[in-house]
Every structure is written in C-alpha cells, then in structure tokens.
Structure 1
Amino acid sequence: MKRELLSFGSIVIDNVLVVKRFPSINETVLAEKYRYTYGGAGANVAVAAARLGVKSSLFAVSGRDFEKTNYKRHLKNEGVDTSGIIPSRCLMPRSFIVSKENSDDQVLYYYENKRETRKILFENIEKAYKLSSESEICHFSTGHFEFYYRLLKKKVKNVVSFDPGQETFNYPYRVVRILPFVHMLFMNNHEAKRLKEILKIRSIRQISGPKLVCVSLGAQGSIILFKGELFKIPAVKPSRVVDPTGAGDSHRAGFLSSLLKGYDVKTAGRIASVVASFTIEAEGAQTSLPNWEKVVRRYEHFFKEKFPSPQTTWERTKEELLS
C-alpha cells in the first residue's frame, strides 16, 4: 500500500475539563464540563488527514485497553491504516487537560510504563523504517525522540515533517539534534522563542535544516517561511470557541494534506487555518474534525473568494523540500 502520510506519535485517552478559570495552588475550581475523548498527537494528525481524504497511517504503541476503549475501531472507521500500531501490555497513556476559553491549556500526563513503550519501539524500528519508505510524508509529533533520532539516522528517504511540541521545553537537546533530518518544522510561538534561545539565534530564519518553517500564533494566525518568502496566514474564526485541544495537530494535518493535494504553501497555510478552526468548536481533539467539503465552504465564507484549484503538484513541492 502506498501511504501518503505516516504519522508518528502517541495514542492517548484525553480527559478534558473545561473551566472558567484555572485554580490557584490548593484551590478547588468547579469544572463546567467533562469529556472523555480520543487523542494523542500522532493519532490526531492521522485522523484529521484521513477525514480530508488523505491515505494516512499511524505508527505508535497502543495498550491493553486499545480495543476495550473502542479506539482501534474508531481509527478503522475513520479510514486510518493501523498496520503500524504495536500492541503493549500497559495501559494506554492518559492526559488530563484543564482547558479555559481563549487561553492555553494546563496538561497532566500519565504513562504506566514509559520504559516498556521505549523498548517496544526500538524492537520495531525496522518495521517503522519500512513503513516510512512507503510513505510520501513522515510526520513526527510529540513522542519518543530518542527513537525518532535513531530512525532518522537510518536516512528516511521521503519528506520529514516535525512538530516537537512541549518537548522543546522538556528535552530541548533531543529536539535540536533531530533538526538536520527535517524538511518541514512546525512550532507555536512559545516553542519558537525557546528554540531561538537554545540555538542562540535572533530569528527563525537562522534555523538550519528545515526548508519550511511554520509558526502558529494562536488567534493571530501563523507565519510560514519557505524559499526565502514569508507568508502571513490569518486565523479563521470558528463558529464558537469551546476547547483548543488538538488545534495544532489538525492544523498540521490540514497543511500536509493540502500539499499532497497539489496546493502551494500559502494556500496550504490558509486551508490549515480553516481546518484548525473546526477543532476548537467542541471538546476533544478529534470530535469536530471536518471533511474536505466543509473546509471548502468555510474557506469561501471566510476568505470571500472561490476555493482555488491546486496551483502546483506534490511532486514539485517534494522536489523543492528535498533539494
């Protein structure tokens, strides 16, 4: 099977609490809403891309409750290829997300046995390499960066996309040593600031390695650097703001899916902004992901123009990224 997008990362059960304000130390705050949802950056990207019509796959370690929670059935129903999902005797990871409207999240993360997960990943590195060689884009999100580094050192031949997320703060040296293998780098503004501090540079233009750099700016949209050009992309207004969890993942999926469909970088950035706007309209990272038809309608409504036809080809963009 020829895969278009292979997503590396985690499969997580998200427990989302929506609050009016974050608690202070030793203070109790009543949550307005609670939702148990499917999440994990790797799975979020794979599902969002599949909704947009892309042949997406997921490489991740699951857990003994993968089928009991119906997560496996959910992925298959969404059209995600699950042949890269490796079973484990441990519970799937859990995240506990405290979300406040128009604010950043507070996140607690639980791993039953991270060492066991690492062991399973390294035992399956050849499988990961084979799947990556069959995929147009390999997207690496928050996960086991030592495994990513070992895999990428084997010279993954196709386009590599990287979204280090909070690991930019937790394990910055692991992020930095992956950068030489990356063609597209995604960050938010906080992560970009931290990366500049680590690399001792003044501008993201000075980051060596990636040919394309995209920085999300929340309600201010995003900026994209590619081939010496800077594109400023506005944030698309959602119908309502409920929960920002997973908006970054759906943005990446929208961007990569658009490139695969033959759109240029600027248009892909606009489409990604549209996709992300749907995610924050409901609790949970995968709850309100759009299909392509919904993206087209919202794009035309927001940008006040007819949805464009592809301006290039993926083959040409791929050549520019790999050159």
Structure 2
Amino acid sequence: MKDVLAFGSIVIDNVLVVKKFASINETVQADKYRYTFGGAGANVAVAVARLGGRSGIFAVSGYDFEKTGYKKALTEQGVDVRGVINTKAFPLARSFIISKKESDDQILYYYEDKRGVAKLLFQNVKLAHKLAEEFKVLHFSTGHFEFYYHFLKKNNIPALISFDPGQETFSYPYRVIRLLKFVHMLFMNNHEAKRIKELLKIRSIREIEGPKLICISLGARGSIILFKDKVYRIPAVKPERLVDPTGAGDSHRAGFLVALLKGYDLETAGRIASTVASFTIEAEGAQTSLPTWEQVEKRYKEFFKESLPTPNRSWEEIVSELTS
C-alpha cells in the first residue's frame, strides 16, 4: 500500500513579505513578492514525497493546471496525481498571503467557481473511494468540508484518518466539529484549539470526542501532543534563517505522518515534524525548501544532540493504538 493520500486544495500562492500588517486604509510597502505553488493538500503531498513517502492527492485543479507548471512539479516529486480532477471551466484557486516574519500570516482566498469545485468533487466520489483503498493514511486539510463529511460518513476503509481543519475552524466551525467523530488524529494551532473549546463548551481540549491523538502547534514555542493520559512537549527546531512561515503547518503534519509510517514513537514523530517544519520557514513559498529525509536526520542530530533512534513499532501496532 501507499502512504498518504492528501485531500485538500491545489492553489497558486501569491506571497507578499512585509515588515508590518496594514491597518484599515493604510498602505504598506511589501519587501518581497513571490508566485509559488501551494494549497494545503498539495503541500502535504509534496512534503511526504520529498521525505521518501508515497503520496497522492485528491483535489480539483483548473484549466491552467498544466500551463502554470503545477502538474509537472507534482509528478516530478513523485506525487500520484490520479486524484486530480481537471476542468476547462475555471482556473486554479489563488491565495494572497501577507507574511510577516515571526508572526502569523494574513490569507485571502479566491475561487472563481466554488460551486463548480464542489460539484466536481461529488461527481468523483467513487474515484476518491477507489484511491482511498490504496493508502494507509488519509489526510484531510483545508478544502470542501461538506464533501469530506459525505465521503467519511459512508466510507468504511481501514486507513487512519488525519485532519487539519486550519482556518476553516473560524470560517465554517460547525462543519469542522461534525467531522471530528471520524478522525483518529487531529492537528490544530493554539488559536484553532481555543475556538473549538469555545464551540463545544469544554474546559479541556482532551474532552473532544473522536480523535485519539491531538497535536497543537504553538508557533515558536513548538507543539504539544496529547495522547491518552500523556502530554508530549515538543520544542520548535530553529531554522537557519527566518524568511516565510507559509506552509510550515502542512510540512509539520507531513513530517509527523511519515515518522509514524516509519515506525517512530509519538514523541520522536513530534520532533521529526518540528524538524521538517523548520526547513519550510527558510524560503518564500510552502513547497520551496522542503527537506529530504537525509536532511532531516542531519538537522535532528544537530538540534537534539542525538541521532534519530531506531524505529521500533510496526504499522499494525500504531493503527491499533490510534483506533482502539
């Protein structure tokens, strides 16, 4: 079987790097502009492939998918693109990302035909089911949550389900909440975790019903992993330079999933994820500076002052832990 099938988006990112965010009616001069490949689904798929994993993507593209060079870029990385739904009706989605060093991003999305995207997803649900049977992990990121719900509630496959709702936690919070019962692993940042607690009216994020494992990113303070009665505190690995945080969350998720697939324990997987994310920050664009596994091993050793331990768990053991 292959490793990770990423559900999400394929997007052209327009990244502006600034020293400060603009206030209302204020003009701010951007220091840099970059046109790069992005979209949470594609970011995860590419990151997994760069790390040596066998990845695929299920998403709607646009009539400029080949013209922009995006299809070639994915296939050159080894990403399985059988799940990319092509159309002549509208272009790829665009995002406009205002990025400030050592800060969160401001992101604007543009879909020329959002209803058209949804229609194509539902028309191709059988393809999604067929592909899902070939992968060990299905990772759901920012995308069409109505389709995700339709797919998951009628799907009975043995794959582990990983979910990173991202900014949809604020845009469509109740769509996020109703997906949680299908999820084995939930990834969020601290702002999203706070919002979910408010919506569910719970005191602790541990009270969420559904996911066995919850990973909360804390930016420069690293992350925490909650599993059963344990809490793993993972430091942020220092990058060589701070350029652009776009896509760091996606590469973090990819690193964690690949580490699990290789048989690492949860704490080591968290450290590997932190190491992978550190590379993404070093260049503009979510897919520009993704590391290979060899690069991760080297930086892991430099930062944690020890070599990567030997993986000691089978995939069957990991699946049992996260599903029982």
* Correspondence 1:250-289 to 2 at 5 A: 250-289=251-290
**What TM-score, normalized by structure 2, do the two folds share?**
0.98
How far did 1:65 drift? 0.1
Given that 1:49 and 1:257 are in contact with CA atoms closer than 8 Å, whether structure 2 keeps it comes out as yes
Match of 2:100 in 1: 100
- Which secondary structure does the structure 1 equivalent of 2:27 belong to? coil
CA distance in 2, matches of 1:156, 1:111: 31
Match of 1:130 in 2: 130
How far did 1:133 drift? 1.7
CA distance in 2, matches of 1:253, 1:315: 19
Distance 1:156 1:14, change over 3 A: farther
Say whether 1:65 aligns with 2:64. Answer: yes
How far did 1:156 drift? 3.8
Aligned residue type for 1:82: V
- Which secondary structure does the structure 2 equivalent of 1:122 belong to? helix
* Correspondence 1:1-323 to 2 at 5 A: 2-88=1-87, 89-157=89-157, 158-323=159-324
- Which secondary structure does the structure 1 equivalent of 2:47 belong to? helix
CA distance in 2, matches of 1:52, 1:64: 29
**17-26 or 70-79, larger mean C-alpha shift:** 17-26
Segments of 4+ moved more than 3 angstroms: none
- Which secondary structure does the structure 2 equivalent of 1:160 belong to? strand
- Which secondary structure does the structure 2 equivalent of 1:185 belong to? strand
Given that 1:137 and 1:159 are in contact with CA atoms closer than 8 Å, whether structure 2 keeps it comes out as yes
Given that 1:132 and 1:156 are in contact with CA atoms closer than 8 Å, whether structure 2 keeps it comes out as no
CA distance in 2, matches of 1:245, 1:156: 34
How far did 1:308 drift? 1.1
Identity, % of aligned pairs?
Answer: 69
Give structure 1 stretches of 5+ with no counterpart.
none
CA distance in 2, matches of 1:167, 1:27: 27
- The alignment yields a C-alpha RMSD, in angstroms, of 0.7
- Which secondary structure does the structure 2 equivalent of 1:15 belong to? strand
Given that 1:211 and 1:226 are in contact with CA atoms closer than 8 Å, whether structure 2 keeps it comes out as yes
**What TM-score, normalized by structure 1, do the two folds share?**
0.99
- Which secondary structure does the structure 2 equivalent of 1:83 belong to? strand
CA distance in 1, matches of 2:23, 2:116: 35
Aligned residue type for 2:210: G
CA distance in 1, matches of 2:122, 2:232: 38
Given that 2:163 and 2:187 are in contact with CA atoms closer than 8 Å, whether structure 1 keeps it comes out as yes
Deviation sequence 1:45-68 (CA, Å, 0-9, x none):
000000001000000000000000
**31-40 or 130-139, larger mean C-alpha shift:** 130-139
Given that 1:133 and 1:156 are in contact with CA atoms closer than 8 Å, whether structure 2 keeps it comes out as no
Deviation sequence 1:228-262 (CA, Å, 0-9, x none):
21100000000010000000000000000000011
CA distance in 2, matches of 1:307, 1:265: 13
Given that 1:15 and 1:97 are in contact with CA atoms closer than 8 Å, whether structure 2 keeps it comes out as yes
Given that 2:129 and 2:155 are in contact with CA atoms closer than 8 Å, whether structure 1 keeps it comes out as no
Deviation sequence 1:127-171 (CA, Å, 0-9, x none):
101111221000000000000000001134211000000111111
CA distance in 1, matches of 2:37, 2:263: 30
Deviation sequence 1:171-198 (CA, Å, 0-9, x none):
1110111000000000000000000000
Deviation sequence 1:83-121 (CA, Å, 0-9, x none):
110102211000000101111111111000000000000
Given that 2:212 and 2:228 are in contact with CA atoms closer than 8 Å, whether structure 1 keeps it comes out as yes
**264-273 or 224-233, larger mean C-alpha shift:** 224-233
Given that 2:244 and 2:283 are in contact with CA atoms closer than 8 Å, whether structure 1 keeps it comes out as yes
CA distance in 1, matches of 2:79, 2:138: 15
- Which secondary structure does the structure 2 equivalent of 1:287 belong to? coil
CA distance in 2, matches of 1:188, 1:207: 15
- Which secondary structure does the structure 1 equivalent of 2:98 belong to? strand
Aligned residue type for 1:293: E
Aligned residue type for 1:93: A
- Which secondary structure does the structure 2 equivalent of 1:63 belong to? coil
Deviation sequence 1:176-231 (CA, Å, 0-9, x none):
11000000000000000000000000111111100100000000000001132110
CA distance in 2, matches of 1:80, 1:283: 21
Aligned residue type for 1:205: R
Aligned residue type for 1:80: V
Number of residue-to-residue matches in the alignment: 322
